Structure 1
Amino acid sequence: MKSPQPTICLSASSLISFLFYGLGITCLTSATVYASYGGNEMALLSFKSRITHDPYKVLTSWNHSFQFCNWSGISCGKRHKRVTAVQLFSFQGTIPHELGRLSSLGGLGLHINKFTGVIPTNLSHCYNLEDLWLALNNLAGSIPKEMSLLSKLSRLVIRESKLTGGISHFLWNITTMEWFDASGNQFGGSIPDTLDICNQLPNLEFLQLWGNELTGVLPPSLSNCSKLGYLEMSDNNFGGKLTIDFSNLRDIYIIKLHSYNFHGCGDANDMTFIDSLKNCTRLITLNHYNCSLTGVLPISIGNLSHRLSILALGDNHLFGSLPSSIGSLVGLTALELKHNRFKGKIPTTIGKLQKLQYLDLASNQFSGTIPYAIRNLSLSTELCLDSNKLEGHIPSSLGNCKELNKLNFSHNRLSGNVPKQLLQLPLLSNFLDLSYNRMSGSIPSEIKDLKMLSYLDLSYNNLSGTITSSLGECISLTMLNLRGHIFQGIIPSSLSSLRGLRVLDISQNKLSGKIPQFLDKWNSLEFLNLSFNDFEGEVPVVGVFANTSAFWILGNNKLCGGLVTLDSVYKEILDSDDDRCVAIKVLHLHNRGAHKSFLAECEAWQNIRHRNVLKTITSCSSVDFQGNDLKAMVYEFMSNGSVHDWLHSSTFNSKLNLLQRINILRDVATALDYLQNRCQTTIVHGDLKPSNVTLDDDMVAHVGDFGLARLLGAYLNQSSSAGVKGTIGYAPLEYGIGSEMTSCGDIYSFGILLLEVMTGKKPTDNMFSEGLSLHKFAYMALPDHVIDVIDNDAIVMQSTEANARKVEECLAATIKIGVSCSVDSPPQRMKIEIVIHEV
């Protein structure tokens, strides 16, 4: 028998009340849904209102004609139609706090934009957020502490966003974090020693904090991050010993700690961490470049993963021999050990690294011969063994390395002939440098096969015979250096085919004959050195010969003619025990003002003694062998040429880095301060420019050429009739209207010199026309766009992402000095005392 069912009896009034209650619940739910729906749209429209730049017109779809779930860059849930993801690129503006209304938001991707302002604290209301990408923006301030409320956050990417204020401890409380990338900011501060990272972030797989100006030591608790796969903490200011034990990091595949400062602690056991890597069987990259590591490379290096592809330990203080166990790392594609103190022979086991594409053992003390087994590196594209003590012949087996496009064996003790097999490498196009060795014989005719090669340096060997005409078939050459051999005969006419050549140096040989006519027809040629040969005849006056700073013809006593507007400076060796080199400037006395220039320089010389002023050894006033007046100045020889050479010619294989430029400017400013404030008599230089600033062995700058100098109170060069004062582009405007030479004029010249050194542009560059000058060009870049006018070589070669902010501040401050010194009004130019303090 079934149990009786309960009977529900409702009065009419109760039924009506029940229906209204149900209707109320339905209306309340609908209102909540509508509020959420409307709140999502309002939040997005608020976002749109903050955008100041939308180059691709992405937000044109953000209007009432479309439901917001269909707007560009927006994703919604299928059921409730609430915003679950926002992803937008190439915008400029600020991030509105209204985004905090998107409570269903799971992913916010605003990376690769130009957003300014701060990270809104209201983002913490997006409690479903799992992915937050704000990288590559211009955000300011610190990471808001409210971020720790995002209890589901697993991926936080805020790299290169100009954030400051340290990496706060509250971030380590987000236990769901798997991916944390905050690289390339200016956080500063340290990671607390007491932080037990992997107990608080047990799921951490990716940690990237390079370039944040972080200090202190790496927390040893990273040893417990058993799920960690990617670790990069490079380009910071960490110090102390590396105390991470990698034994438990079995899933690690990338380790990048380069530019970690070990304070040069001198502990021979710096490399013991290698032993703890044997369990890291997934490791593919180990980069400890420039870490001040000291010690020997242990034999256990061979126990690392066979998957290891990149091993970079260059720029450290490693010594001893290179273990033969290195040959066990058969997965290597790049091995970089340059700038250490390794010695002994290169192990033959290196031939086992048959996947190797890049090998750099430069600047060590390796000796013995180049191993024959190097032929097995058949996939290598770059091979650098320069600046060692290698001996013997270059193995012809290198001809087996068919993929090589760059080879540098310079600055060794290699002997024998240049192997023809080396010259028949089909892809050798980038670089071939065999300079500063002991090679002999002639240049093989097979060199004609290097039709794609752009850079060839065979200088300072013992090659002989004639310069082979086969070189004319190397039609891609932009730099050819055959300096310092015993080549004889003439320059072959076949070289006329090298129409893309920018640098040609065949100085210090025994070449003879006339200067070929094709040399003055090359529009590409930037620097030509024919010095110390036996050339004869007339020097051309067109093409490269029209620029006296672009060609050298010293030591060719049978040459005549050519441009004589400048005094041709000679390098000579004094007949003394130390074989000291000097530079001798012979004045062309038929030039207007030459006698006064000589007297001015002699007068100035008597009053000058300073490390940043070119030392004058003596002067000479006599007659030559034909009975003509002869006046000459003898200077200390500057081996690194002039600042002009470094900036505008290819005389040197490298360019000035940022630190070198700053040091040069400081040296020049110090010299000016001496001339203006610390001499017995104030001296006005009168012709300050890069070609009159020379560099010694240590790259210390010396101001020279006082031919236009004026001693204030003396009667030298005071009359405007003495000719043009200074050089066009560097001389201040007041000199052009007859004003006297003053210290303020030197300040103007220094300002222009500074701007030229920093921008790499001459004041007479063709771009400066129709009211635009070097001064105005730099002025318009202040304060926020200075990086756009800086010479690329200064930034590319030295600047790192770790110091991006400091570098930009330094550049802005330096450019500001140059602009302040080169204003038109002399009284408003910056005083040299202030320059010294600021530079």
Structure 2
Amino acid sequence: MKPYIFLLPMSWYIYLHLINLLTLTLMCFSPNRTLTMALGNQTDHLALLQFKQLISSDPNGILDSWNSSTHFCNWHGIICSPKHQRVTKLKLQGYKLHGSISPFLGNLSHMRFLNLGDNNFNGNIPQELGRLSRLRYLLLLNNSLSGEFPINLTKCSELKRMMLVGNKLIGKIPSQIGYLQKLQHFRMDKNNLSGKIPPSIKNLASLTIFMTSFNNLEGNIPQEICSLTQLKIIAVHANKLSGIFPSCLYNISSLNVISIASNEFSGSLPPNMFHTLPNLQYFSIGGNNFSGHIPTSIANASTLTTLLDIDTNHFVGQVPNLGKLQSLRFLHLAYNNLGDNSKEDLEFLNSLTNCSKLRLLDLTTNNFEGSLQNSIGNLSTSLNRLSFGDNQIYGQIPTELGNLTSLSLLSMEYNNFEGTIPTTFGKFQKIQALILYGNNLSGVIPSIIGNLSQLYALGLDGNMFEGNIPPNIGNCQKLQYLTLSQNNLKGDIPLEIFNISSLTNSLNLSHNSLSGSLPKEVGMLKNIEMIDVSENNLSGDIPGTIGECTSLEYLYMEGNSIRGTIPSSLTSLKGLQRLDLSRNQLSGPIPKFLQNISFLEYFNVSFNMLEGEVPTDGVFGNATQVAIIGNNKLCGGISQLHLPPCLSKGRKHAKHRKFRLIAVIVSVVSFLLILSFIITMYWMRKINLKRNVDSPTIDQLAKVSYQDLHRGTDGFAARNLIGSGSFGSVYRANLVSEDNVVAVKVLNLQKKGAHKSFFVECNALKNIRHRNLVKILTCCSSTDYKGQEFKALVFDYMKNGSLEQWLHPEILNAETPTSLDLSLRLNIIIDVASALHYLHEECEQLVIHCDLKPSNVLLDEDMVAHVSDFGISRLVSSICGNSSTIGIKGSVGYAPPEYGMGSEVSTCGDMYSFGILMLEMLTGRRPTDEVFKDGQNLHNFVAISFPDNLENIFYPHIVSRDAEVTEDGSIENSECLISLFRIGLICSMESPKERMNIVDVTRDLSMIKKTYLTGFRTHN
């Protein structure tokens, strides 16, 4: 047994020795393998941690798993190779990450796939990424990356897809791009690139997609591009490219998409080009300088399924038969010289009846002549937009056109159509724009128009319609444009028209034979921009309610028989730009208040019976913009008007010098008496000054009793409580003295500052009046039934509550009938801006609100906004940068940063609050949301995604109606959103000096509203 015991440990020793020897032998053949693997893992681990360190915001918590508790290969978005445990894929697209891209990603030497798309990365693309020699996919699309194209990326010789679309890259496409010989997809669209497309592109033999649209590229497309025989998509639209488009590209049979619209290409198209493009589905060359005929070979281009766009060029001749393009959806032929002014011009329309998927047909502004055949009703039932405008088409409108029940736009303006509007148009239940102006249509306007409930614009002007305006047009409650001018319409203007609350752009009834007076109901069009009732037979006075149309910019009433005086209510039209009252029977003076309307740039009252002195300021200071001829009793004015001087008072009393001497003596005696009285009062006031310094007056403001308020609120019952604020509660009340429902703000006098707030708000509101400011009706300063001091303010009741309830109903548990679409949000923003414009620019004494926020913006029954709560406002005489009262004013999140550092209040502070309010309305996020921490705020949240990634920041409920996201991910009406976000960002800049003033804001908002969401061409 002993020898056996001895041999066991000896055998174990020899076994271990052999294992060590074998290990040393293997290390001789691969001495660094284990060490390399260990170091590689550590390098990847550190690189990922460095990447995470530069992420400033991770709203979805995606990187929470990136911690030491798990191996980095198990982190979210990381894929490693099973064998070496090295990072091969980094996929973090669409998580709204903010920050910059770490150069340490260049150390992930095994990485083949990098996708950081649809985030908010900014800064440059690191040159270090050029070290990723195995990288095949680089996807950085839809971020905010800037700087020039990193030349080192051309060292990534294995790259197959490079997608940098939707960033802010500048500079040129480098010639070294030709080194990427395995590249298949190259997308640099939607950046700010300039320069030319390099000829070295010919080396990209594997390229199938080349997209550089929406940049500033210029020069010719190099002929070398024709070496790319596998190319499927070439999209270079919206650049500054010019010259002849390379005809050799028409020989690349693999092409599916040719998109070169909105450049400066010229030349003609080869007649047989579509024979050599058997796979072409999308052909867009609109907005260039192409000329000649449409290639006849297009008749066999049956693969064209998506788009045929040749509009805005110089094509001539007949349109070929397109019947084989059976799957074509969009056909744009507008703005050319197509047609030969012959009756055969429209025969190609018969062939389009085979195109069963056609959704858009635009023939606007060509030379098409002939009449529409009944077969027009056999076009696709999917047809959504049909435009014939500005041609020479004649004859009657076929009744069969009513079969196209999916139409949302029918545009037939400026042709020679005759006859009546077919009653079959009543089938257009989806129609939004019906544009028929500039034809020879006759008969009455059919009552079926009132059944088109989705109608947005109705243009029937420039025809020969007769009879009365059908009252049931008032049923079209979405109308914004109504133009019936230059017809033979007669009778009174239907009152139902003034009940169309959506009528905000224009009401044009000019050049007809309408009679009666302009109804007082015109004041119901509170948000309309233009009213034109000129050249009719209207009589009566100008209704005073016209002053309630507070958005009115253009008012034309010339060529009627209107009498009376120019109403003083016009002083409410602060945005009025053009006013024409000429050729009427107006009398009395020209009101002096008109010279105070700062936007008024044209004024015409020629050939009336006006008298008295002509003002000299404002528009009256420019003789070229004022027309007053034909009023023989006018006098004064500026010298360029060549009016006689007004008779002075001194000349009138020249014969009464004796009485003047007596008057002088009496005046001197009176002056001495008054002077002694003033001196006495001065000393009395000086004695009592300290006693009264903290008790501001609220004179000239009517008061109501505590009993009335107690009765009107049912004893301040909880069921009548509609809100609470810093210094008290607001109740709904019925007051007999006011004869309507009012809002009563009861001050909590136990709260420090409540007394001062009461007096400040009374004194701020008693002398200011504006349609977008809450109106103070009366106040109460008394004692309650317990003998305790009681103070309250009484305002107009706002039926639709506060803006805060509409923006955040889910937080406030508020009930709102519908969400605010973009149109309503824009109108509310304009209302608030108008209120600030009045406070900052138009009051006799500058008013600074100091606490602008959604809860202080109230909405009446027409959704017109009114700014309220002047409890901490300031009446000052300062401009931006000058001071009023030291201390923090306003609410957290809305008060500007300088107030928190002891700066004094200014108009710039109000502009900051306005900017934050705008951003909150557009994003749906409060400035005090929990996500805004660690230095992040609402302004920075928007700035990071502006302007290229609006979909990351705008309030999703806006999308539901006005700003739909299209198939390619872009946002319709993005230009409107960009303009609004820009104003909000500039107003909320940290530095007061960098913020916009209210004058510039109101001007820009007016321009935005004019161009916002038309969606089609209109006639004004």
Give 1:64 deviation, angstroms.
6.5
- 1-structure distance, mates of 2:200, 2:639: 74
Q: Does 1:63 align with 2:139?
A: no
Query: Residue 189 of structure 2 aligns with which residue?
Result: 111
- 1-structure distance, mates of 2:283, 2:130: 43
Deviations 1:411-442 (A, max 9, x none): 11110100000111010000000000000001
- 1-structure distance, mates of 2:548, 2:466: 31
Query: Residue 702 of structure 1 aligns with which residue?
Result: none
Query: Residue 235 of structure 1 aligns with which residue?
Result: 312
Paired residues of 2:357 and 2:382 also in contact (CA < 8 A): yes
Q: Does 1:462 align with 2:537?
A: yes
Give 1:385 deviation, angstroms.
0.6
Change (3 A) 1:212 1:587: farther
Give 1:94 deviation, angstroms.
2.1
Deviations 1:290-313 (A, max 9, x none): 111011011111101111000011
Task: Identify the match of residue 168 of structure 1 among 246, 249, 255.
Answer: 246
- 2-structure distance, mates of 1:364, 1:102: 59
- 2-structure distance, mates of 1:227, 1:181: 16
- 2-structure distance, mates of 1:114, 1:60: 15
- 2-structure distance, mates of 1:163, 1:60: 26
Give 1:341 deviation, angstroms.
0.7
Deviations 1:477-536 (A, max 9, x none): 111111111111112222222222111111111111122232222222211111111111
Task: Identify the match of residue 282 of structure 1 among 338, 347, 357.
Answer: 357
Residues 263-342 of structure 1 mapped to structure 2, 5 A cutoff: 265-342=340-417
Query: Residue 437 of structure 1 aligns with which residue?
Result: 512
- 1-structure distance, mates of 2:187, 2:129: 23
- 2-structure distance, mates of 1:541, 1:123: 68
Letter in structure 1 aligned against 2:300? N
Query: Residue 542 of structure 1 aligns with which residue?
Result: 617
Query: Residue 496 of structure 1 aligns with which residue?
Result: 571
Q: TM-score, normalised by structure 2?
A: 0.49
Change (3 A) 1:64 1:523: closer
SS at match of 1:156: strand
SS at match of 1:148: helix
Deviations 1:166-215 (A, max 9, x none): 1232101211111110112222111122x241x32111110001122111
- 2-structure distance, mates of 1:64, 1:371: 68
Change (3 A) 1:191 1:484: same
Query: Residue 156 of structure 1 aligns with which residue?
Result: 234
Q: Does 1:134 align with 2:223?
A: no
Give 1:221 deviation, angstroms.
1.1
- 1-structure distance, mates of 2:541, 2:163: 70
Change (3 A) 1:455 1:177: same
Query: Residue 73 of structure 1 aligns with which residue?
Result: 140
Change (3 A) 1:227 1:587: farther
Query: Residue 268 of structure 2 aligns with which residue?
Result: 190
Q: TM-score, normalised by structure 1?
A: 0.59
Change (3 A) 1:112 1:271: same
Q: Does 1:427 align with 2:502?
A: yes
Deviations 1:319-366 (A, max 9, x none): 111111111110000011111111111111111111000111011111
Give 1:81 deviation, angstroms.
5.5
Query: Residue 210 of structure 1 aligns with which residue?
Result: 286
Paired residues of 2:157 and 2:179 also in contact (CA < 8 A): no
- 2-structure distance, mates of 1:319, 1:301: 14
Q: Does 1:220 align with 2:296?
A: yes
- 2-structure distance, mates of 1:216, 1:476: 48
Letter in structure 2 aligned against 1:444? P
Query: Residue 449 of structure 1 aligns with which residue?
Result: 524
Paired residues of 2:462 and 2:486 also in contact (CA < 8 A): yes
Paired residues of 1:275 and 1:301 also in contact (CA < 8 A): yes
Residues 737-752 of structure 1 mapped to structure 2, 5 A cutoff: none
Deviations 1:397-418 (A, max 9, x none): 1011000011101111110100
Letter in structure 2 aligned against 1:442? S
In structure 1, list runs of 5 or more residues that go unmatched. 1-18, 20-40, 42-54, 569-585, 589-791, 797-839
Change (3 A) 1:587 1:248: farther
- 1-structure distance, mates of 2:386, 2:160: 45
Letter in structure 2 aligned against 1:256? H
Letter in structure 1 aligned against 2:521? E
Paired residues of 2:238 and 2:263 also in contact (CA < 8 A): yes
Paired residues of 1:167 and 1:191 also in contact (CA < 8 A): no
Deviations 1:227-255 (A, max 9, x none): 21210011111111112x22111110000
Q: Does 1:121 align with 2:196?
A: no
- 1-structure distance, mates of 2:594, 2:366: 48
- 1-structure distance, mates of 2:231, 2:123: 28
Give runs of ≥4 in structure 1 deviating > 4 Å.
Answer: 55-58, 68-72, 74-77
Residues 804-823 of structure 1 mapped to structure 2, 5 A cutoff: none
Change (3 A) 1:186 1:542: closer
- 2-structure distance, mates of 1:517, 1:64: 70
Paired residues of 1:59 and 1:72 also in contact (CA < 8 A): no
Change (3 A) 1:361 1:98: same
Task: Identify the match of residue 97 of structure 1 among 175, 194, 212.
Answer: 175
- 1-structure distance, mates of 2:157, 2:244: 39
Change (3 A) 1:71 1:344: closer
Query: Residue 746 of structure 1 aligns with which residue?
Result: none
- 1-structure distance, mates of 2:342, 2:548: 54
Q: Does 1:415 align with 2:490?
A: yes
Paired residues of 1:165 and 1:187 also in contact (CA < 8 A): yes
Change (3 A) 1:64 1:506: closer
Paired residues of 2:369 and 2:393 also in contact (CA < 8 A): yes
Deviations 1:353-409 (A, max 9, x none): 110001110111111110111111110111101111111100001011000011101
Give 1:115 deviation, angstroms.
3.3
Give 1:150 deviation, angstroms.
1.6
**Quick one: higher RCO (CA 8 Å, sep 6+), 1 or 2?**
1
Q: Does 1:248 align with 2:330?
A: no
Q: Does 1:147 align with 2:225?
A: yes
Change (3 A) 1:164 1:521: closer
SS at match of 2:441: strand
SS at match of 1:466: coil
- 2-structure distance, mates of 1:342, 1:255: 23
- 1-structure distance, mates of 2:370, 2:598: 52
- 1-structure distance, mates of 2:237, 2:620: 51
Paired residues of 2:635 and 2:645 also in contact (CA < 8 A): no
Structure 1 vs Structure 2 CA RMSD? 2.8
Change (3 A) 1:458 1:566: closer
Residues 571-650 of structure 1 mapped to structure 2, 5 A cutoff: none
Query: Residue 735 of structure 2 aligns with which residue?
Result: none
SS at match of 2:244: coil
Query: Residue 666 of structure 1 aligns with which residue?
Result: none
**Bigger mean CA deviation after superposition, 523-532 or 230-239:** 523-532
- 1-structure distance, mates of 2:201, 2:302: 31
Give 1:57 deviation, angstroms.
5.9
Query: Residue 726 of structure 2 aligns with which residue?
Result: none
In structure 2, list runs of 5 or more residues that go unmatched. 1-28, 30-105, 107-119, 142-149, 647-1006, 1012-1020
Deviations 1:91-150 (A, max 9, x none): 332222211111221111122334343322222222221110122333343222332222
Letter in structure 2 aligned against 1:236? N
Paired residues of 1:127 and 1:149 also in contact (CA < 8 A): yes
Paired residues of 2:158 and 2:182 also in contact (CA < 8 A): no
